[in-house]
Each structure stands twice: as C-alpha cells, then as structure tokens.
Copies of this chain bind each other. A is one copy, B any other.
Amino acid sequence: MKKTKVSSTNQVNKNYLEDICMGAYALGIIGSRWKLSIFFNLKDRPMRFSELKYSLNGITERMLALNLAEMEKDKILTRIVFAEVPARVVYELTPIGKALTAVWDQLDNWGRQHKDLISADALL
C-alpha cells in the first residue's frame, strides 16, 4: 500500500508521538489529504466508488482506491461488494467511523471561526 522506511528518524518520531498522544495517533489514521472529505461524503449515506469520484472533484482513482483501502484496513469504513456486472461497490462508515462525526463537526466549526477571525484581522 505504501512503503515506509521502518527505522528512519521520521518514522521513529511519528511512532513516538502516536504512542504518547492519542490525538496524534488519530490524525495518523484519518489526517491525510482526502480522508476527511471522504468521511464527510459518507457521513449521511453509503456511496459507491464512482459517486465518490465525482463528488471529490479532482481526486484520481488511484488516490481514491488507496485512501478507501486504508480506511477499510483501519476499520473506518466497510466495503460492500454486490455480485453484479459491472461490479458495484459501496462504502459505508463503521460505528467507530461514524463516531468521528462529533469531532469533525467541531473541527469544521473551529475552522470557520478561525477563518472569520483571520479575514476580520485582514481588514485592519
């Protein structure tokens, strides 16, 4: 899925931080570029691969597949395959995945506040 040099200082530091701080651990799991947006799409209803692709304007199939696979491995979502042709695959949040809702809604809120503050300051 991805190759990391297991014993680079980089990796050691990452592991250390994720070990002493569950927040860092959480960000390690769901903090990369597209995952948050995938989450927001799946929040209300399961969606299929192609729907996500169109919704996430600009994502490549590679990135989408890669992120979905990681999120599945980390039990954030479930992959449901229908035995049809052409294949139909649907992604759905797991309970622990859905439990992110409260966190992300709050973060979204903080972001809005921060942006307002910054643009207000820019007017001075």
Binding site for B on A (CB under 8 A): 9, 12-14, 16-17, 21-27, 29, 31, 33-34, 36-37, 40, 57-59, 74-75, 96, 99-100, 102-104, 106-115, 117-118, 121
B residues in contact with A121, CB < 8 Å = 75
**15 A-B pairs whose Cβ atoms sit less than 8 Å apart in the complex:** A9-B58, A12-B58, A13-B59, A16-B58, A17-B34, A22-B110, A22-B111, A23-B107, A25-B111, A25-B114, A26-B114, A27-B31, A27-B107, A75-B117, A96-B113
- The answer to whether A37 and B21 have CB atoms under 8 Å apart is yes
B residues in contact with A113, CB < 8 Å = 96, 99
Q: How far is the CA of A57 from the CA of B9 in the complex (A)?
A: 12
- Given A16-B58, A106-B102, does the pair A96, B114 have CB atoms closer than 8 Å? yes
Q: How far is the CA of A59 from the CA of B118 in the complex (A)?
A: 29
B residues in contact with A118, CB < 8 Å = 74-75
Chain B nearest Cβ from A121, distance in angstroms: 7
B residues in contact with A17, CB < 8 Å = 33-34, 36-37
